[in-house]
Amino acid sequence: MSAAPSGRRKRPRSAASIFQGSRTSPHGRDSERRGSGSDSAYQTQRTLDDCKMLVQEFNTQVALYRELVISIGDVSVTCPSLHAELHRTRTRGCEMAYQAHQKLAAISGPEDGEIHPEICRLYIQLQCCLEMYTTEMLKSICLLGSLQFHRKG
């Protein structure tokens, strides 16, 4: 991303804007955002605050999931309850990540336009949380598989 003079960043083109068969209209989100200036700005700020909260909650959910993954090898933890808790936490984390992405996409502006630095920061934070979440899910699969292998053998 290259920095623009106003401190905003140019957004890289997404696959939706590259392929002509895309279902989204390039003017779809712009027309939704139009309205009276102060109402639109207030709504955008409110949505931005919601996004901040969602990304923060997702970050907390990732930390909770990480703690559960760490406890996989602990003999004092009962396996069925741990499996259920891992599943609930994983499902909730996926829902939170999806909601945060949808809200950020709704306020980020046109595909080829500039992106506000705060929105860019939230996208980066969400992406980092997703990478850590994916890593922890892979760890849990490996650990659970390893434990089952050792118990059978």
Residue 14 CA to residue 24 CA, distance in Å, equals: 12
Q: Domain segments of the chain: what residues?
A: 47-152
Give the pLDDT confidence of 17-57 residue by residue, as tens digits: 333 333 344 444 444 444 456 887 888 788 889 999 999 99
| φ, ψ at 49 (rounded to 5°) | -65, -40
pLDDT of residue 97: 94
Residue 135's pLDDT is 94
Q: Does domain 47-152 have CATH number 1.25.40?
A: no
What are the tens digits of pLDDT across the range 60-104? 999 999 999 888 877 656 678 888 899 999 999 999 999 999 988
How far from the centroid of its chain's Cα atoms is residue 98's Cα?
6
> How many angstroms separate the CA atoms of 97 and 56, rounded?
10
Give the predicted TM-score (pTM) of the model. 0.66
